[in-house]
Amino acid sequence: MATIKEEAIVLRAYDLGEADRILVLLTSDSGLIRAVAKGVKRTKSKFGGRLEPFNRIKVVLHRGRNLHTVTQAEVLDPHGKIREDFRRYLFGEVILEAVEKGVEEGQVIPRLYPAVGITLKVLETGPPLSLACAFLLKFCALIGYRPQLDQCLQCGERVRGGRAALDLSEGGLWCGRCLQGRKDSAQFLMLPEGVAARANALLRQEMRQIELEIGKDLECLALAVTFAESFLGKRLRAARLALEQARREQVGAFRDEATV
């Protein structure tokens, strides 16, 4: 077939020459697709703002040998509340970036499209940091790297609290007892008390049920970003930016408390 008609979420749009843009789309049935939107930067373009990141669209693409061309687009949901809010936008980009970098072109990951759709919808009102963290963990699981966050990889005991570390080469936890005598190394990400259990809850919880746990979710996000980068073998720039911002906010919050 020469045309593809599908629903899609715009992950990224970047300029191509004077007037065109390349879009990275997560489609409902054909996986990740790159397509060119011609003349989209002209003021009279028929596409207007329909092809901006975060938009859920109905799109018609003309199949090309190397690159598909967008011929029609209609916005189904612009996720306006993400766009209007700096923090929601920042953490939303963590989600879009992970999908763009973690999925190959044409690769179809079952359940990914609805998962991204639900996450963006919930992100319009829910807690951005916790949702971005939960999405990263769930995304890793969907693409085949489910982190093992309840039992120790070494002894098989349930990790309930105390010292623990995430083994980045194996994708699972070590309990405090098994860690004894081990030196810190790049293989291990040391986890503060309770962070593994919280990350495990975020991995399993439904997006709509997630609420912020102050004091734990920042460390959970650090865990999720490090884990995802390690398995993808890629740096997640938007995720690192969001993490830095969250750290600055936490420092700011402590300072405010201290001056009260």
Interface residues toward Zn ion, by CB under 5 A: 152, 154-155, 175, 178
In the complex, what is the shortest distance from the CB of residue 195 to Zn ion, in angstroms, rounded to a whole number? 16
Using an 8 Å Cβ cutoff, are 101 and 184 in contact?
no
In the complex, what is the shortest distance from the CB of residue 154 to Zn ion, in angstroms, rounded to a whole number? 4
Helix axes 128-142, 237-259, angle to 10 degrees: 150
In the complex, what is the shortest distance from the CB of residue 191 to Zn ion, in angstroms, rounded to a whole number? 13
Which residue in the shown chain puts its C-beta closest to Zn ion? 152
24 vs 178, which CB is nearer to Zn ion? 178
31 vs 176, which CB is nearer to Zn ion? 176
78 vs 188, which CB is nearer to Zn ion? 188
In the complex, what is the shortest distance from the CB of residue 159 to Zn ion, in angstroms, rounded to a whole number? 7
The rounded distance, in Å, linking the Cα atoms of 136 and 85 is 21
Which of 149, 242, 231 minimizes the C-alpha distance to 198?
Answer: 149
Structure tokens at 168: 């980045």
129 vs 152, which CB is nearer to Zn ion? 152
The rounded distance, in Å, linking the Cα atoms of 55 and 35 is 15
User: DSSP code of 158?
Assistant: B
The rounded distance, in Å, linking the Cα atoms of 16 and 221 is 34
Name the one residue in this structure whose structure tokens are 């997630």. 210
Q: Please enumerate in sequence order all residues whose Cβ is within 8 A of that of 46, keeping only pairs 6 or more positions apart, or say none.
A: none
In the complex, what is the shortest distance from the CB of residue 181 to Zn ion, in angstroms, rounded to a whole number? 12
175 vs 238, which CB is nearer to Zn ion? 175
Q: What is the largest CA-CA distance in the chain?
A: 67
Using an 8 Å Cβ cutoff, are 175 and 164 in contact?
yes
In the complex, what is the shortest distance from the CB of residue 54 to Zn ion, in angstroms, rounded to a whole number? 42
